[in-house]
Structure 1
Amino acid sequence: MRETWRWFGPLDTISLAEVAQTGAVGIVTALHEVPYGEVWKADAIAARNDMIKAAGFTWDVVESLPVHEAIKRGEEGLGPLFANYRQSMANLAANGIRTVCYNFMPLLDWTRTDLAAPVARGGTCLRFEASKMAAFEVFMVNRDGAEDDYAPEVLEKAKAWYEAAGPEAQAQLLNAIMSGLPGAYDRFDIAELRTALRAYNGLTRADLRANLKRFLEEVIPTAQELGMVFCIHPDDPPQDILGLPRIVSNAQDIQSVFDAVDAPENGLTLCTGSLGANPVNDLPDMARQFGDRIHFAHLRNVRRDPDGSFEEATHLGGDTDMVAVIDALLQVEARRKTPIPFRPDHGHDLLADVERQSHPGYPLIGRMRGLAELRGVVAALNRNT
């Protein structure tokens, strides 16, 4: 398995020189500054690639080449957006970058209610609290029908939290949820979020699946021509959010993505944290089942609560059997005879991470701890083969 590290480019508070000290050999990044729907210019890709090479790395995975929201909504007149997307693919391939991670979550990317939840023995982690999410949807956004999406006991806790929370706590909750906006630089206030949500009125799960199928039909043939592979990222969390459907949350969903365009270039990013937040998902089994279509892996762990809440655990300490997942991936590698790039996904903010103020979930020390733990598992399993 090939060790990589997510780097947010020149905007990142973590330098490539620091990443080098983690032991990772590949970089996962994107041109985050390019507005969605515009072409990634060949010279901009080359400049970023040269920067990565000069630091002693290879650019292994694009995460992500974003899908414009108009495509997810299935609007009319999408030809120019698809043409721009294919041109960006060609420009990436011309620079030797051939693995693209993307997601098809409407409006929001990952969603958390707490960016700095305390963990035992010090440090903080990302957390999704079901009652806080319910309070946000029901009492702050006032979304029609939101009450129907939560159990009575969760709604009771949501009401109690909302009645006790002042403006500062509500602002912190809004900021945490908005941190999951793609690109994570623009933010909505409550009124702007209500307006943004109206653009998705009536969008069903079937609609979103059809729109994903059209996207794949537009890009996978080009990927085949260019020698590229695509790997969809699962929903995070694996449930509908703000009334918006999500369609990559379990094994059945993933198989439906593969069936939409049945080609090896249409693959999966195995995110053990996103999928692990759904208690029905058996991650080692999914790694074996979909092994031939796994082109990239995000390895992290979560600890689940019965009400649907969860928080980021240490990489070996949550509810997912990470050793079994890695064992399955190593077996897939041996069969395929090609390495699977993986990165230590999310980490606790530890020690000096708190002062650094890196992107939420992407601290230096916490991820380095995670990478070290994962590296140890890989080494031990390889020794036993």
Structure 2
Amino acid sequence: MTLIQSWRWFGPNDPVSLRDIQQAGATDVVSALHYIPHGEVWPLEEILERKSLIEASGLKWSIVESVPVHEAIKTRSDASENYLDNYRTTLKNLSKAGLKLVCYNFMPVLDWTRTDLSYGLQNGAKALYFDWADLASFDQYILERKNAFAFYSDEVVELAKQRWVDMNEERKKELSDIILMGVPTEKSMTKEDLMNSIAIYKEIGKDGLRDNLVYFLKSIQQTCEEEGITMTIHPDDPPFPILGLPRIASNDEDLLYILDKVPESFNGVCFCTGSLGAGAHNDLPDILAKVGERVHFAHLRNVKRNNRGDFYEAEHLDGDIDMVSIMQQLIRLNKKRNTPIIYRPDHGHQLLDDLDKQTNPGYSAIGRLKGLAELRGLEKGLDR
């Protein structure tokens, strides 16, 4: 049994079409109803419509990524029970449509964070980039969080001060827009919204957020077990606390805690090499060895870090992540399974004709096609 190669598709408005996915060689699709606001129920009819659209192209919708967890659940506010009811209803509707694997994250407010969406590489391609000095500049001078610089190294603070002096107004606005984008498929937030959330999460803290995740999982456990649904948590991206927001899925200790607190088999992991790999503290082959039995889905991409911890998304087989070891382990794990592990090429460079196209950040066609081809070749060679 081989690993399943999949591709993320954002729906009919995605500039990358289902035909493009077929030509890239993927067999399965990772999708979601992104147009439905966070927390609302996904109607069965609309799930079936999306499924029929994908199947009509000869592909299979295998993974739902993601069913977003509403902020009321993450903060366990008074409205959380209503949103938990909605979440359970959505899971039941997905099950009726034959969709049994769900990816989600528990990152506060912002989802993944970058500071540059078009970082120029030496070969002319563009990549996503995270720069601590740019984040610190935003934190101190745009967000104006109290004592913001106290949360960064002296080197980053000095760089941030100079960076801000040299930064023109256009770049300042761009930086703010990128960070405040939050979830790319949702509307942007305001500075005031973010500051209010930071204050809430300061009170909750890491331990409180962990408790809220466990409460969420236990609240949907019966539904998942009755419907045969497996949940896979996506690691924090990047795997550090940022802007005063806690992180609870950033390393092996975090993931093992989640699996230990909710040991039932419905509670699984999405192993994202790029998210975990952005932290030099993470030994990815070791983490996969520890949690691999609960990994059902993998996002495979690479990153290149500098000494400060800044990183850009490198080519899939050329970065600081030992992708060969990761693929070897996934192949071994997969051979023990009754249900195969699904992976997708996560993100990709903007290159060739895609340099002139507008796509979702990280989700251009040609860069991911190149990544999938490399990963497919790696898998084939290692398996043989």
Question: Same fold per TM (> 0.5)?
Answer: yes
Matching residue of 1:301: 302
Counterpart Cα distance in 2 of 1:280 and 1:352: 37
Secondary structure (helix, strand or coil) at the match of 1:375 reads helix
1:221–1:143 CA distance, 2 compared to 1 (3 A): same
Shift of 1:242: 1.2
The letter for the 1-side match of 2:218 is E
Counterpart Cα distance in 2 of 1:89 and 1:75: 21
Secondary structure (helix, strand or coil) at the match of 2:375 reads helix
Shift of 1:202: 1.6
Matching residue of 2:373: 372
Matched, 1:103 2:105: yes
Matching residue of 2:158: 156
Matching residue of 1:214: 215
Counterpart Cα distance in 1 of 2:147 and 2:259: 32
> Percent of counterpart pairs with the same letter?
45
Matching residue of 1:165: 167
Secondary structure (helix, strand or coil) at the match of 1:263 reads coil
The letter for the 1-side match of 2:17 is S
Counterpart Cα distance in 2 of 1:121 and 1:158: 27
Shift of 1:190: 3.1
Shift of 1:337: 3.9
| TM-score (normalised: structure 1) | 0.97
Question: Which has the higher mean CA deviation after the structures are superposed, 20-29 or 184-193?
Answer: 184-193
Listed one character per residue, the Cα deviations across residues 106-135 of structure 1 (whole Å, up to 9, x for unaligned) are: 000100000000112111000000100010
Counterpart Cα distance in 2 of 1:214 and 1:151: 35
CA contact (8 A) 2:206 2:248 kept: yes
2:95 pairs with one of 93, 96, 109: 93
Shift of 1:328: 0.5
1:70 pairs with one of 59, 69, 72: 72
Secondary structure (helix, strand or coil) at the match of 1:203 reads helix
The letter for the 2-side match of 1:150 is Y
The letter for the 2-side match of 1:93 is S
| TM-score (normalised: structure 2) | 0.97
- For structure 1, the 5+ residue unaligned runs are none
Matching residue of 1:115: 117
CA contact (8 A) 1:178 1:184 kept: no
Counterpart Cα distance in 2 of 1:340 and 1:19: 19
| Root-mean-square deviation (Å) | 1.2
Matching residue of 2:24: 22
Counterpart Cα distance in 1 of 2:197 and 2:233: 24
Counterpart Cα distance in 2 of 1:62 and 1:189: 28
CA contact (8 A) 2:301 2:316 kept: yes
Matching residue of 1:290: 291
The letter for the 2-side match of 1:233 is H
Give the total of aligned pairs: 382
Matching residue of 1:315: 316
Matching residue of 1:359: 360
Question: Which has the higher mean CA deviation after the structures are superposed, 285-294 or 188-197?
Answer: 188-197
Counterpart Cα distance in 1 of 2:242 and 2:354: 29
The letter for the 1-side match of 2:159 is K
Matching residue of 2:58: 56
CA contact (8 A) 2:280 2:309 kept: no
Shift of 1:372: 0.3
CA contact (8 A) 1:65 1:100 kept: yes
Question: Which has the higher mean CA deviation after the structures are superposed, 98-107 or 74-83?
Answer: 74-83
Shift of 1:183: 4.7
Matching residue of 2:236: 235
Counterpart Cα distance in 2 of 1:184 and 1:41: 19
Secondary structure (helix, strand or coil) at the match of 1:14 reads coil
Counterpart Cα distance in 1 of 2:374 and 2:59: 21
- For structure 2, the 5+ residue unaligned runs are none
Counterpart Cα distance in 2 of 1:369 and 1:159: 38
Counterpart Cα distance in 2 of 1:193 and 1:213: 24
